[in-house]
Amino acid sequence: MTESQLTVNRHTIADKKWRQIEKLFPAYTTKLSNRVALNTVLWQLKVDSPWRNLPAKFGS
């Protein structure tokens, strides 16, 4: 695993945690999955970086 993968993985919700909360999100289909959308918001809150610096994994 590369350093950039570790950095991105550190800012994503774990599978076990996601399974506990995924039913709280709406069931409609969008271009971006609910999990990716949540990970994107969590990343931005933790890193406090401009949205333009969003990693590609989060849909930039």
Q: Please list the pLDDT of the chain residue by residue as tens digits (60 residues).
A: 444 444 457 778 888 999 999 999 888 777 888 888 888 888 888 888 888 888 887 775
pLDDT given at position 21? 94
pLDDT given at position 20? 94
Contact (Cβ atoms closer than 8 angstroms) between residue 56 and residue 45: no
pTM equals: 0.69
Give the torsion sign (CA, 59, 4, 7, 15).
positive
